[in-house]
Amino acid sequence: MTNGNLYDANVCISCRERLEALPETISLTAGEFELLNRPQRAYSFAIPVRMDDGSVKVFNAYRVQYNNALGPTKGGIRYHQDVDFEEVKTLAFLMALKTSLAGIPFGGAKGGIQVDPRELSEGELERLTRGFVRAAHTFIGPRIDIPAPDVNTNSQTMAWIVDEYANISGAYEPGIVTGKPLELGGSLGRGEATSLGGAYVLDQYIKDSGLQRNELTIAVQGFGNVGRNIARILSGWGYTIVAVSDISGARYDEGGLEVETICSEKEGGCILKEAKSDAKHLSNEELLALDIDVLIPAALADQITEKNASRVKAKVILEMANAPVSKEADAILARQGTVIIPDILANAGGVIASYFEWAQNAGNEYWKLDEVNKKLREKILGAYTRVQERTLHNGYDLRTASYEVAVERILKAEKLRGNL
């Protein structure tokens, strides 16, 4: 491998570090490393928005199409005040690996707008979203690059994108995004697919380890859509959820929480700090340090770092957020014997279901929920099996095995296309 040119603005620093961390047994040529080291296309936009008070604010926006060797690029768009270009590059890289590992015909992309959506009215958010489509419409499309919901975006955001894209193109193209409302061509099961996919993977790992569901304790850090749904699913399967957290802090009961009650309160607009539950109130940092069997980070990136990794006592970490464990923390946890089920496998259910939605749009079809969930289980457990086979054969940890499987498929496609 080579370090590449650190002064090349196109290089993804975090991506390079992740590739360099792979063992020497996963040998990449200099050309292969350089190809994976940077996105194929990266766009930066300045989006002016007329605010409700008549003033104009300009927001920074980004879209990165990391690799399209396997098909049109695919990835969410997030609205967050801390979004920056390097973060979007890294998330697009992870999405490229995720789609490859899942065995679906997509490349990887990601987008973000630097905004705190809590400070905007719904009308301002709509104008911001439509402004993004006007800026980016020539670079996206159902056969080019397909956005989806991510942090602080949802089906309504996707509906605005569908409508604005139709206004510009003059044709209705529901496949321009996934995660849409059902009425606009969305798919049954898409909203819960990320969580259900993660639950399938964790449950299979638990079975393979000879453990029993009712013997395990689980904490979920982050109680948005993904965190709530996976807590619900796992609780329904007989797992004991002892702690959950949101931005206000955590609730903890060593005997098990009333998950459905807390979920209902959260969906009603209540923050966990103000929930009626009698469960003990903890900080997010205290939740990460609980003596439990499984920790599920389902919030943002870099929640477990070199500063707090040594305090993590969970035996298994299921990464439902993207990159919740830093590279430095990864090494510390490995020394502690913590098993990490990596994000590109654990949370791939969302992009798998997005592929199903895109396929339904292309064929003007609507699949039943049971069909979607059955296909999801087959796809994600197929990826899990490929990873487990690699770990057993080569002695890799799950992250290394996942990266190897994903990178091999991308590079094979690049060779077949004549790019290597």
Q: Which two structure tokens, joined as six digits, stand for 211? A: 């453990």
Q: What is the DSSP string of 66-79?
A: EE-TTSSEE--EEE
d(CA 225, CA 153): 11
Active-site entry in 110, 180, 266, 379: 110
User: Could you tell me if 322 and 343 are in contact, meaning their C-beta atoms sit under 8 angstroms apart?
Assistant: yes
Q: Which among 47, 73, 72 is positioned nearest to 125, based on CA atoms?
A: 47
110 has catalytic annotation: yes
Q: Give the residues across from 220 on adjacent strands.
A: 244, 296
- As a whole number of angstroms, the distance between CA 83 and CA 66 comes to 17
Query: What is d(CA 63, CA 145) in angstroms, rounded to the nearest whole number?
Result: 10
The single-letter code of the amino acid at 363 is: G
Nearest to residue 347, comparing CAs of 274, 410, 298, 398? 298
- Alpha carbon 82 to its chain centroid, in Å, reads 17
Q: What is the dihedral of CA 69, 74, 79, 80, to 10 degrees?
A: -50
**Taking the CA atoms of the chain, what radius of gyration do you get in angstroms?**
21
Say how far apart CA 251 and CA 232 lie, in whole Å.
15
Q: Note whether 280 and 311 are within 8 A (CB).
A: no
Query: Quick one: DSSP state of residue 37?
Result: T
As annotated, the active-site residues are 110
